[in-house]
Structure 1
Amino acid sequence: MPLLTDLDISQNYLYGSIPLSLGNLQNMTDLVISNNHLSGVIPDIWSDFKYLYYLDISNNNFFGKIPSSIGSLSFIRFLFLGGNKLYGQIPSSLQNCTSMDTLDMGDNRLSGNLPYWVGEAMPSLLIFRVRNNSFTGHIPGQLCRLSNLHILDLSHNKLTGIIPTCLGNLSGLKTELKLDSERYEGSLQVATKGRIMEYTETTLYLVNSLDLSSNNLSGGIPQELTTLSELGTLILSRNQLTGKIPEMIGNLKDLETLDLSHNKLVGEIPASIVSLTFLSHLNLSFNKLSGKIPTKNQFQTFDDPSIYKGNLALCGTPLTTKCSGSGSGNGEAPSGGGKNDEDVKGRMENLWFYLTIALGFFMGFWGVCGSLIIKKRWRLAYFCFLEKIISEITVLIFVTANRLKKMFKR
């Protein structure tokens, strides 16, 4: 069978290991043995293949290191190694695979730093998936050079450092991708809308995803990420991110999934977030957010309080905590606090009224009495004046009374 070019024995119940005789099929272009129960190490036979451009050995029980001979597959475009028990580092020989479109090594036990050369040696890469491994170190800035990348999944590793601001330069997430059946083959599992979904080549081109969740990333969320206008999924949960949610988050008009939960984000939810009218899955729980929860547009449908759980300073629907005060931070009048505001305003007016009366009495009393106490001449003159007035009033009363008696006698 040396002329065999396509072999697909996936989704069976095959056991055992890959036979070394497979290397005799030098004219093979497509080899798919995924979703079986194959085990053992991956044999170092790949330098014998001259034309192989599609290799899928995912979802088996292979262990050991990735053989360096895979780097001799100069025509390889689709490489699926995920869902095994592979360990060690990504072999540097893979940088010879300059035509790579999809590189999936997720759900293994790989370790070491993410190779910087991926961003330099694979300019046509569309999909880079290494989720659920044990990679350490920083996210290499060279990944920002992957202008065609539209799925970047580095989640569930041990990455540290900040999110590179240059990820906002991923032009593949800024322009609408058109279906090219030759560039999307196989299937891929992607975290979106709160669950893991599997996409095939007929729908994979629709997925634009950035998933950096479940690492040890720190620092703020770069404002530059809000320029990725075609991004559909943004998952940054379960890190150590600080600072505020970017004010221009509303620029991500096509965003359907936003998960920023389990971080240390502070401040109010930006007012622009209500512009995300395609948003169907939101999770902002377990941060340090404050202020009123927006209620406009799509946010009217987010009635699950668990979305905001663990943010003790958040208030408003759907939480039971009512908002008070005049500042909502979202351009909306606070709900549930109107009556309280009126009561406070009334109490303040009454307080000022009584203070004014007291101040007026104090100033009037001491303005007169104080001067009489201090100045003796004024005091004598004042009492003489009072005595004179009282005398005149007394005389006037008696005179008036006598006149009235005479009138009644007549």
Structure 2
Amino acid sequence: MLRLRSNFFTGQYPRQLCNLGYLHILDLSHNNFSGTIPTCFNNLTSLVHNVSDIYNDYYLPQTTVTLKGQERVYNTTLMLVKSIDLSSNILEGKIPQEIGGLTLLGTLNLSRNHLTGNIPSIVGNMHGLETLDLSNNRLSGQIPQTLESLTFLSHLNLANNNLVGRIPLGSQLQTFTDSSIYMGNPSLCGFPLPTKCPGDDTLTITNAKRCNEDGNDKMWFYVGMVLGFIVGFWGVCGTLLVKKSWRYAYFRFFYDTKDKVTLAIELKVTRLQRKLCHV
């Protein structure tokens, strides 16, 4: 763990930190680091492969770690925390594609910097990510659809950037109903923002028409069933009630059929009993 937050460090991010393969908590937030985010983050082995066994023989002191905007105290479970916090610096440039290889990373906080470019779609490969904070940067482009594959994501903040287009509505992103996490992106639209996307009104009207059409189809289906029942029932029973001769003929036919069936069954049983007796 390397925790150097809230100091006055300047200069570029030291690339040598990428050689610390067992580093699983990196907190350089609230400093004055400048330059770009290094592309060597995928050398942090503990954020790519599970190497927690190295802590079995070490004493882990009680430590305070900032996650999801809150300070939390860890001791024996500290080895399970995997976090990178570079927030509140002067970092610029694009978010490197290599960061998508940190599949075990739980928290990524790059907020309050001067980052530009698109949010890499490869972030969707970071399946262990629970917190993603990219707010207060200068990121542009659309929110990648791949974010919906982050099934453990519970804290998201993309506010105050230059993101555009419709907010994806994947299975996981539907759980974020707080519009403030998208605020400050004037060209962003869709739920949960109050800004509608182009074509939403047409889509709503089309859906309403489909619902009405479906409702009308169901109504006429049930009306047809009722009418069919009424016509069929009274076509047979009504005729029998009105025509006395037909009623007698119907019941005579019914009784004759019943007698024939009963006789046939009795003959079958008698023949079977005879065969059994001979055996």
Q: Please, what TM-score do these two structures have when normalized by structure 1? A: 0.49
Q: Give the equivalent residue in structure 2 for 1:338.
A: 203
Q: Give the equivalent residue in structure 2 for 1:189.
A: 64
Q: Is the 8 A contact 1:184 1:205 kept in 2?
A: no
Matched, 1:289 2:154: no
Match runs of 1:231-250 below 5 Å: 231-250=105-124
Q: CA deviation at 1:184?
A: 4.8
Q: Give the equivalent residue in structure 2 for 1:34.
A: none
What are the superposed Cα offsets for residues 271-328 of structure 1, whole Å, 9 maximum, x if unpaired?
Answer: 1110001001000000000111111111111000000010111111100011114xxx
Match of 2:52, SS state, is: coil
Q: Give the equivalent residue in structure 1 for 2:149.
A: 275
What are the superposed Cα offsets for residues 76-104 of structure 1, whole Å, 9 maximum, x if unpaired?
Answer: xxxxxxxxxxxxxxxxxxxxxxxxxxxxx
Q: CA deviation at 1:182?
A: 2.8
Match runs of 1:80-91 below 5 Å: none
Matched, 1:143 2:13: no
Match of 1:234, SS state, is: strand
Residues in 2 aligned to 1:131 and 1:228: alpha-carbon distance in whole angstroms: 22
Q: Give the equivalent residue in structure 1 for 2:7.
A: 133
Give the structure with higher Rg (CA).
1
Residues in 1 aligned to 2:20 and 2:59: alpha-carbon distance in whole angstroms: 17
Q: Is the 8 A contact 2:32 2:89 kept in 1?
A: yes
- Identify which of 189, 192, 198 aligns with 1:315: 189
Match of 2:164, SS state, is: strand
Q: Give the equivalent residue in structure 1 for 2:260.
A: none
Q: CA deviation at 1:139?
A: 0.6
Match runs of 1:257-406 below 5 Å: 257-325=131-199, 335-339=200-204
Match of 1:134, SS state, is: coil
Choose between structure 1 and 2 for higher RCO, CA contacts under 8 A separated by at least 6 residues.
2
Match runs of 1:168-179 below 5 Å: 168-179=42-53
| Distance verdict in 2 for CA 1:183–1:337, change over 3 Å | farther
> Could you say what the CA RMSD is over the residues aligned between the two structures, in angstroms?
1.6
Match of 2:156, SS state, is: strand
Match of 2:117, SS state, is: coil
Q: Give the equivalent residue in structure 1 for 2:214.
A: none
Match of 1:272, SS state, is: helix
Residues in 1 aligned to 2:132 and 2:73: alpha-carbon distance in whole angstroms: 19
Unaligned ranges ≥5, structure 1: 1-126, 326-334, 343-410
Q: Is the 8 A contact 2:66 2:72 kept in 1?
A: yes
Normalized per residue, the structure richer in helix is 2
Residues in 1 aligned to 2:126 and 2:59: alpha-carbon distance in whole angstroms: 25
Q: Give the equivalent residue in structure 2 for 1:225.
A: 99
Q: Give the equivalent residue in structure 1 for 2:261.
A: none
Q: Is the 8 A contact 1:194 1:281 kept in 2?
A: no
Residues in 2 aligned to 1:245 and 1:295: alpha-carbon distance in whole angstroms: 17
Q: CA deviation at 1:339?
A: 4.8
Q: Is the 8 A contact 1:323 1:337 kept in 2?
A: no
Q: How many residues align?
A: 206
What letter corresponds to residue 324 of structure 1 in structure 2?
Answer: P
Residues in 1 aligned to 2:92 and 2:201: alpha-carbon distance in whole angstroms: 36
Q: Give the equivalent residue in structure 2 for 1:255.
A: 129
Match of 2:141, SS state, is: strand
What are the superposed Cα offsets for residues 168-225 of structure 1, whole Å, 9 maximum, x if unpaired?
Answer: 221110012335343351122222123221211x110110001100000000100100
Q: Give the equivalent residue in structure 2 for 1:163.
A: 37
| Distance verdict in 2 for CA 1:184–1:268, change over 3 Å | farther
Residues in 1 aligned to 2:100 and 2:116: alpha-carbon distance in whole angstroms: 17
Q: Please, what TM-score do these two structures have when normalized by structure 2? A: 0.71
Residues in 2 aligned to 1:191 and 1:208: alpha-carbon distance in whole angstroms: 12
| Distance verdict in 2 for CA 1:304–1:140, change over 3 Å | same
What letter corresponds to residue 198 of structure 1 in structure 2?
Answer: V
Moved over 6 A (4+): none
Q: Give the equivalent residue in structure 2 for 1:199.
A: 74
Residues in 2 aligned to 1:244 and 1:323: alpha-carbon distance in whole angstroms: 20
Q: CA deviation at 1:337?
A: 4.6
- Identify which of 26, 39, 52 aligns with 1:152: 26
Residues in 2 aligned to 1:337 and 1:259: alpha-carbon distance in whole angstroms: 34
